[in-house]
């Protein structure tokens, strides 16, 4: 048990820190209006239209209590924004909305990491549901091959988390550029105070994905150690 916590603690601490960081950034910049008095939905529409994606709809999350539930759905090709992003003219709102628009642009341009992540989803769903069960069965019955199969299934989640990193970083990069090019922040001048707020907001959000990958990787390494020790026994 002590060894388990030794593996898990760094990832857990990083996850808590990252979540606190993004919540703190959101709490600050959701209260700061942008100079254009533009809501997240309006900013996303402008970014999408500037990239020829006039047919990508933008909807508000049906759950009024949802916070930072914003996402782009590649299956229905639509943006879904939480109420605090969709209808609020804040720096945080335009940052998050433009980030999600960045995913739509990735989809339209055939961005390879996004295609890879989307293709992994069915396998990851299976792996996340069965991986631990198969691993546990292998350990309990002392069947090394079965235990390794469980590790491999869980490893799909770690691979998914790894592929997610370039997808999210690229979407944020596209968002920062688009917000300047469309003149939504700082009148189209890079490096202004609104742009710095956007950077802080999106960089904070990026840490949650780094933390998620780190936690998944440490869990995977722990499982590998268990099965390797089983082989030695």
pLDDT tens by residue, 184-223: 998 888 889 999 999 999 999 999 999 999 999 999 999 9
Q: How far, in Å, CA of 135 to CA of 230, rounded?
A: 12
Over residues 168-197, mean pLDDT: 94
Instruction: State the pTM of this model.
Output: 0.91
| Residues with catalytic function | 100
Average pLDDT, the chain: 93
pLDDT above 60 for 232: no
- Residue 231: the pLDDT is 57
Please state, for a pLDDT cut of 90, what percent of the chain lies above it: 85
pLDDT at position 121: 94
- Exposed/middle/buried for residue 127 (C-beta within 10 Å: 0-12, 13-18, 19+): buried
DSSP string for 106-155 = HHHHT-HHHHHHHHHHHHHHHHHHHHHHHHHHHHHHT-HHHHHHHHHHHH
Give yes or no for residue 180 having a pLDDT over 90: yes
Residues 6+ apart with CB under 8 A from 37: 89
CA-nearest of 72, 105, 74, 85 to 42 is 85
Pairing of strands 71-73, 78-81: antiparallel
Given this model, what pLDDT does residue 47 score? 98
């Amino acid at each position: 048990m002590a060894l388990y916590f030794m593996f898990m603690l760094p990832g857990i601490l990083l996850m808590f820190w990252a979540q606190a960081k993004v919540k703190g950034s959101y709490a600050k910049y959701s209260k700061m209006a942008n100079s254009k008095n533009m809501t997240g939905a309006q900013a996303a529409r402008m970014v999408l239209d500037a990239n020829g994606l006039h047919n990508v709809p933008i909807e508000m999350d049906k759950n009024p209590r949802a916070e930072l539930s914003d996402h782009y759905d590649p299956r229905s090709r639509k943006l879904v924004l939480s109420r605090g992003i969709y209808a609020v003219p804040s720096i945080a709102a335009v940052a998050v909305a433009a980030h999600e628009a960045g995913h739509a642009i990735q989809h339209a341009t055939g961005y390879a990491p996004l295609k890879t992540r989307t293709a992994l989803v069915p396998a990851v769903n299976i792996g996340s549901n069965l991986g631990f069960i198969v691993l546990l069965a292998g350990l309990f019955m002392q069947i090394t091959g079965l235990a390794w199969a469980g590790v491999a299934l869980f490893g799909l989640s770690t691979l998914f988390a790894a592929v997610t990193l370039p997808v999210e970083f690229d979407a944020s990069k596209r968002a920062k550029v688009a917000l300047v090019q469309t003149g939504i922040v700082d009148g189209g001048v890079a490096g202004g105070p609104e742009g710095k707020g956007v950077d802080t907001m999106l960089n904070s959000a990026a840490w949650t994905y780094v933390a998620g990958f780190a936690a998944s990787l440490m869990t995977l390494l722990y499982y590998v150690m268990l099965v390797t020790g089983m082989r030695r026994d």
